[in-house]
Amino acid sequence: MERQAWNNINEFATNTIKAAGQLILDDFGRVAADPKGRFDLVTATDLAVEKLLQQEIQRNFPEHDMIAEESIQAGKISLDTFCWVIDPLDGTVNFALGIPFFSISLALLQSGEPILGWVYDPIRQELFRAAQGKGSFVNEQPLTINADRSLPLPVGGSSDFIDWSVRAGRSALLSDLLGDFGKLRVMGSQALHLCYVAAGRLRAAISWEAKLWDDAAGALIAQEAGASYTDFWGQPVFPVAAGSPLLFGGAIHSVAASPGTHARLLIMLAQAGDDLS
């Protein structure tokens, strides 16, 4: 992608995601939630933010495809050129309960590979972004993982990862995690978990149930800061192939961490067994 094209897209995405963030802040603490599946919620704010992002993308880039969490459509999505991946509100349960930890995630794929990504935390007004091969930033400050940081860094995990870990005799995995790394945090926004790995606030981010819209932007941000990002078996998640279940809500069993920690986590996961039922 040419530099000017990247600059134009980055300016568009920055302005649009911040406008969407203001919409979320305006609704925070004042919107009712409805059930969406087991232990999940959707609010009118999710739908309004998604509509805003879709309309702006359609108006500015009518030739691009889109995948959005709340409006997945069955059928073929072309990945031949560009496709936007939208999570309007990652952390809806937190948002609905008044817990100030949630984000908007926006990624641009080219041939199934994230090439640009933005994650915005409207509460802290932190905009994480990355471009493939050009590094990661938070509010325009560069991000680099510091594997030698002396402070104890917790591992960020998902609720379903913990559930998977304790089923079928895998509780030793959690014991090993705590024994090696000391702390485990489940904060409720996978996109921010990945960004916090990039920012050196978490040692790793592990999710059993992440979706494409949870990971597409954050994975790029983490990788561009120096993290390794794969599935539980060490295989790359991207590029996503046309027709892949990931395009329609299939789960990504993902691990992001500094290379040394990532290697150690893959060993732990392999020892726990590869039954993902």
- Rounded Cα distance between 85 and 54, Å, is 10
pLDDT(137) > 70: yes
Half-sphere exposure in the Cβ direction for 42 (13 Å, CA) = 15
Q: What is the pLDDT of residue 150?
A: 59
Return the ∠ at Cα 101 (arms to 98 and 106), rounded to 5°: 120
209 near 250, Cβ under 8 Å?
no
pLDDT(71) > 80: no
What single-letter DSSP state applies at residue 199?
T
Six token digits for residue 83: 């496709």
Closest C-alpha to 202, from 227, 179, 233, 174: 227
Look up residue 158 and give its amino acid: S
Q: What is the pLDDT of residue 39?
A: 44
Per the model's pLDDT, the better-predicted residue between 96 and 32 turns out to be 96
Q: What is the pLDDT of residue 168?
A: 64
Q: In sequence order, which residues have a C-beta less than 8 Å from that of residue 104 and are 6 or more positions away?
A: 17, 20, 21, 24, 49, 53, 87, 88, 89, 90, 118, 119, 120, 122
What φ, ψ does residue 203 adopt, rounded to 5°? Answer: -75, -35
Stretch 157-177: mean pLDDT = 86
Q: What is the pLDDT of residue 74?
A: 45
Stretch 216-225: mean pLDDT = 98
pLDDT band, residue 73 (cuts 50/70/90): low
Q: What is the pLDDT of residue 147?
A: 57
Six token digits for residue 174: 């959690």
Q: In sequence order, which residues have a C-beta less than 8 Å from that of residue 32 and are 6 or more positions away?
A: 43, 44, 96
Structural domains present in the chain: 3-143 (3.30.540.10), 155-272 (3.40.190.80)
Q: How far out from the chain centre does Cα 230 lie?
A: 13
> What rounded mean pLDDT belongs to the chain?
88
Which residues face 108 on adjacent strands? Answer: 84, 116
pLDDT band, residue 75 (cuts 50/70/90): very low
108 near 219, Cβ under 8 Å?
no
Per the model's pLDDT, the better-predicted residue between 171 and 154 turns out to be 154
Could you report the per-residue pLDDT of 11-21, keeping only the tens digit for each? 999 999 999 99
161 near 243, Cβ under 8 Å?
no
Q: What is the pLDDT of residue 43?
A: 80
